[in-house]
Amino acid sequence: MSKAVVSLELLIEQQKEQYRRMIRQAYKMRDENASLVFILSSESFNQANKRMEYINQLKKYREDQILKIQKNIETLSINLKELENKRIEKQDLASSKVSEQKNYVRDREKQKSTIQNLQGKEQQLKQELAQQRKKSQEIQAAINAAINKEILAERKKNNSKPPSVADTKEVELNNKGFEANKGRLPWPVKKGEITKGFGKQPHPVHVNVFTQNNGVDITTVKQSTVRAVYEGDVTSVIVIPGAGKAVIIKHGNYRTIYSNLQETYVKAGDHVVAKKEIGSLLINSSGTSDVHFEIRKITTDGRISNINPTYWLYK
């Protein structure tokens, strides 16, 4: 591009020099007397006529040459301007490419940083998920151990002492009373909403990761008190390291379980009525509290089944 510009500039300068030379020659021939003397000094009429034609042709030639040179200069100037515009355009394009390259490098580094941050967060979330699973397994193991211990103790008691008619009726009445209140039970907290349902639940952060929930998680205001949903007997108060406490209440063949407690107001062997306060909740990282509530049914052969509390609580 620079060579073409230099070449055009040189041609323009040559044309301009030729133009100046033609102007000087025309200037020298401007004297009409000199032309007239040149014609009159002819030796014959034919010679004079030829000299006059020659002068006219020379004049016409010079005029044509001047016009031609002017057009050439104009054309070359236009070409030079076009080349200059192209040069500027290429410079701008080159600058734009350099800028684009810088932006690309900056965006790539930013994406790398974002990916590294996300990978770090993912690793942290995986660790938290593993801890939550471990904690949940520990809680479930402690609850299952407490209920199994209770079942075993009842079996030993029943084997050593035949049940009276009154005891059987009482158990039967409790069972019917609890079952009859399905869908009418008060919530374990006065205010709150279910934020994690029963059964297989998708993880709130990890895609295609699911957790198993044996009950429901109810979010409420911080340090809310937890209450029994039905009349029954406290069979266990469990302490889970790092996860607070849990209370198990017996309602005939049913058990209600209240976890994530900070303090408990009852102890094993206490009889509680419906809506009796049994403890207060831990505070979570978001400044609220969550109660983990479960219902389990124990069959006559000692099997334990998890019940969805959603269908038992009053709506």
Reported as a pLDDT band with limits 50, 70 and 90, residue 120 is confident
- Mean pLDDT score, 228-245: 91
Distance (Å, whole) CA 309 – CA 315: 12
For residues 224, 228, 233, 238, the Cα torsion angle rounded to the nearest 10 degrees is: -40
Cβ within 8 Å of residue 219, ≥6 positions away: 192, 193, 195, 288, 289, 290
Give me the pLDDT at residue 205, please: 65
Query: Residue 2 above 70 pLDDT?
Result: no
Q: Is the pLDDT of residue 214 over 80?
A: yes
Q: How far apart are CA 146 and CA 267, in angstroms?
A: 14
pLDDT, average across residues 260-276: 95
- Please give the residue that has the higher pLDDT: either 272 or 138: 272
Q: What is the pTM of this model?
A: 0.55
The predicted pLDDT at position 10 comes to: 75
**50-70: pLDDT as tens digits:** 767 766 776 777 677 777 777
Could you tell me the CA-to-CA distances from 39 to 7, 235, 256 in Å, in that order? 44, 145, 137
Number of neighbours of residue 181 by Cβ within 10 angstroms: 16
pLDDT at 179 over 70: yes
Residue predicted with more confidence, 155 or 102: 102
Identity at 137, one-letter amino acid code: Q
Angle between helices 45-160 and 32-40 (to 10 degrees): 140
**Domain topology for 163-311:** Glucose Permease (Domain IIA) (2.70.70)
For the cut 70, the answer to whether the pLDDT of residue 235 exceeds it is yes
Residue 222: DSSP 8-state: T
Using only C-alpha atoms, what is the Rg of the chain? 52
Distance CA 235, CA 144 (A): 12
Q: Show me where the domains of the chain are located.
A: 2-106, 163-311
